[in-house]
Amino acid sequence: MPACLTSLSLLLLTACGGSSNLVQTQVAPSLQHGWELVWADEFAADKLDLQSWQIETGGHGWGNHELENYTARKENLRLENGMLVIEARQEKFAGSDYTSARIKTAGLREFTYGRFEARIKIPAGQGVWPAFWLLGTEASVAGWPERGEIDIMENIGKEPATSYATLHGPGYYGATGFGGSKKLVQGKLADDFHIYSVEWDATQIRWYLDGQLYHQASPATVPGKWVFDHGFFIVLNLAIGGDWPGAPDANTIFPQQMLVDYVRVYKRKT
Residues annotated as catalytic (active site), given as ranges: 149, 154
Which one, of 188, 134, 129, 174, lies nearest residue 154 by Cα?
129
The half-sphere exposure of 25 on its side-chain side, counting CA atoms within 13 A, is: 8
